[in-house]
Amino acid sequence: MNFKSMDRFVANLSQLESQAGEPLGVKSGASGPPLASRALVVFTSGPRPWWLAGLSRDFGHCFVLLDQGDRWILLESLLHVLECRILGRTSAEDLAAFYARQGFVVLAVPIETPARRLAPILPLTCVEVVKRAIGLHSWRIITPFQLFHYLKKNFAKRNKTLDIGSDTV
């Protein structure tokens, strides 16, 4: 599906939503606004398969929470499934504190609108799901640790991060 056919699909979907009187819940950043305005990126440690043993002990996995105003959407790529959950409305600070109490590191980042070009073709990992959700296109970032440092470096400078649970990093 190319960008023009995606634009037609989104336009038709918007027309269906207006006829139905309520949103169908599908949005696209390809031709319209991003799915959300900001996100919480959560970094975790924990058990992992032997082939991922080379990852940093504290940054072995990540997932993203997208703020839609009235709800949060959790996207998490696991080894066997891509989970998508709808969470109720709570503040970013309360949600971040909840994960920090469990020993996770949380960064709040704005969602960027990526350039309309093919994203790097990389395996569907937790990092790739987070990168796509926040509008980041980079083939150089492939581990949760690399993603954490990129986000810290690029968003901490602009005072746009809510950094919780990373006192030792």
Output the CA torsion 112→113→117→118 (10° steps).
50
Q: Which residue has the tokens 């949600």?
A: 95
Q: pLDDT-derived band of residue 79, with 50, 70 and 90 as boundaries?
A: confident
- Selected residue with higher pLDDT from 115 and 25: 115
Least confident of 5-14, 90-99, 153-162: 5-14
Query: What is d(CA 98, CA 84) in angstroms, rounded to the nearest whole number?
Result: 19
The pLDDT of residue 124 is 84
Q: Tens digit of pLDDT for each residue in 7-60?
A: 555 555 455 445 444 444 444 445 555 667 789 999 988 666 666 666 666 788
Q: Which amino acid is at 68?
A: Q
pTM of the model: 0.72
Q: pLDDT-derived band of residue 162, with 50, 70 and 90 as boundaries?
A: low
The pLDDT of residue 20 is 43
Q: pLDDT-derived band of residue 167, with 50, 70 and 90 as boundaries?
A: very low
Sign (positive/negative) of CA torsion 99, 100, 103, 107? positive
Q: Tens digit of pLDDT for each residue in 81-92?
A: 889 999 988 899
